[in-house]
Structure 1
Amino acid sequence: MATKTEITVEEKLRALYDLQLIDARIDEIRNVRGELPLEVEDLEDEVAGMNKRLEKLNLELETIEDSIKAKKNQIEESKELIKKYTKQQDNVRNNREYNSLSKEVEFQELEIQLAEKHIKEFKVQIEQKNLTIEETKDRLTAREEHLKHKQGELDEILKETEKEEQALIKESQKFEKKIEDRLIKAYKRIRSNVKNGLAVVAVERGASGGSFFTIPPQVQMEIASRKKIITDEHSGRILVDPTLADEEKEKMEKLFTKLK
């Protein structure tokens, strides 16, 4: 692996601050998207879940309708058997045979009554399923509309920012290569530990940017001399002097304008 060219402390500080400005701009772009990608993902899952539910409800409906057909066939079979047994009663030789056939007729009539009862129950189930299907379809239409709207919002933001974000990511990687690994690791560790992701900050009104803790004048002079990398004892952030910060901000603003 090629070794990184040795650079002065001041060059390291400038490169670190430039990297911070680039990464802060990437953060800003991603913050504009906010929770939208997650919202879209959740809505997609919800829509998929509703479609599966509709599929399941329709299968259940088909099963009930098949059961009704089976019961209707059973009724027809029972009616045929009743006809058969009634006809046989005309040719019986004794009461025992007649009573036996009467019991068969009675059994088939009970079977018809039971089948009709089941058909009524199945029809009630069909009504309930159809109602649930309609409600689910209405909810699904509403969620699909919401998803379409949110996806449109996200696509619009991505269209506006994706090119710039990709260009900035490349710049970030380019600047990382200028800085030694030890410093990059420290920079990333600080970034992950602070809320706003600012690992390198300028001294503002005698304190580190975004902090109320005053930096002693002697330390401020050391920071301004750019002879060594100094961190804020309270937040752990790397500190740069205001002049260097202003110079790098101006330089990076030109880069950002070009990348848009």
Structure 2
Amino acid sequence: MASKKEITVEEKLRALYDLQLIDSRVDEIKNVRGELPLEVEDLADEVAGMHTRMEKLTADLDVIEDDIKSKKNGIETSKELIKKYTAQQDNVRNNREFNALSKEVEFQELEIQLAEKHIKEYKAQIEQKTAVIDETKSRISAREEHLKHKQGELDEILSETQKEEELLMKESAKFEKQIEERLVKAYKRIRGNVKNGLAVVAVERGASGGSFFTIPPQVQMEIASRKKIITDEHSGRILVDPELANEEIERMEKVFAKLK
């Protein structure tokens, strides 16, 4: 901790600008990937959802097939009962018993009709669900092919950039350790508040880098003196003089070249 307090303001500014250059390089790598990782993730989720739907449809078909079997078994039972009641009618002692058996036969015939109606409805459901399954299979095949293509694109980009990104992240962590925690927090806060992630910028043509607001000559001199950390009053960005920026850009480009 003591070593952090001992470094000069100029060393802090150089470390902050180097940290910015490293993080900006990581941002560039992430921009190359763009929305591809999210696109691949969304496609994978979509395909998984379609597979889940397929599983449910298949399970529904199994249930319907079981229902059909149950109804067919019911029909066979009713037919056996009709045979039984019809045979019993030959041995009745009076009309009352005959009529009672006739009602039982009629009831079983109605049960058969109802079961056959249900079987017809179930078969229509099977036809409908089978059509949906076939359509879903086709869609899954197309989306999986698209996912494979996009995953291939992402893998290719990752193979080219992942090693460099990991090394850059280590460099970023190393530079953070050279800077006091308060400044690192301020740097990250500013980075989070600006669109392009630039928290430390050089003065360009008398203005803050990327800004049109002119910096007064007196403030420019203070920045060039490197005696204190100065922020842009409009954007909140930390400012460094062009000479320091160019020196660090040249130095860090050599570092980046070794990381590739």
Q: TM-score range by the shorter chain?
A: over 0.9
TM-score of the aligned structures, taking structure 1 as reference length: 0.96
CA RMSD of aligned residues (A): 1.3
TM-score by length of 2: 0.96
- Note the alpha carbon deviations across 1:83-128, whole angstroms, 9 max, x for none: 1111222222222222222111111111111111111111111111
Cα pair distance change 1:180/1:241, threshold 3 Å? same
**Helix, strand or coil at the partner of 1:4:** helix
Q: Which amino acid aligns with 1:235?
A: S
What code does the residue aligned with 1:56 have? Answer: K
Structure 1: stretches of 5+ with no match in the other structure: none
Residue equivalent to 1:246: 246
Deviation per residue, 1:67-91 (Å, 9 max, x gap)? 1111111111111111111122222
User: Who is 1:120 aligned against?
Assistant: 120
Q: Which residue of 2 aligns with 1:63?
A: 63
Q: Structure 1 stretches (4+) deviating beyond 4 angstroms?
A: none
| Equivalences for residues 17-96 of structure 1 within 5 A | 17-96=17-96
How far is 1:2 from its partner? 6.0
Instruction: Give the secondary structure class of the aligned counterpart of 1:239.
Output: strand
The C-alpha deviation readout for 1:139-172, integer Å capped at 9, x for no partner, is 2112211221221111111111110001001111
Partner of 1:97: 97
Instruction: Report the secondary structure of 1:210's partner residue.
Output: coil
User: In 2 relative to 1, CA 49–2 (structure 1 residues): closer, same or farther, beyond 3 Å?
Assistant: farther
CA shift for structure 1 position 186: 1.4
How far did 1:136 drift?
1.5
Unaligned runs of 5+ in 2: none
> Aligned pair in 2 of structure 1 residues 2, 47: CA closer, same or farther (>3 Å)?
farther
In 2, Cα distance between the equivalents of 1:105 and 1:237? Answer: 93
Structure-2 separation of matches of 1:110 and 1:225: 102
Aligned AA (1:223): I
Greater CA drift, 33-42 or 13-22 = 33-42
Q: Distance in 2 between matches of 1:170 and 1:52?
A: 41
Secondary structure in structure 2 of the residue aligned to 1:203: strand
Aligned length: 260
Distance 2:64 2:2 in 1: 72
Identical-pair percentage: 82
Q: Which residue of 1 aligns with 2:155?
A: 155
Question: What's the counterpart of residue 230 of structure 1?
Answer: 230
Q: Tell me the amino acid that sits aligned with residue 119 of structure 2.
A: I
Instruction: State how 1:155-174 maps to structure 2 within 5 Å.
Output: 155-174=155-174
Q: Per-residue deviation at 1:5?
A: 5.7
Q: What letter is aligned with 1:125?
A: Q
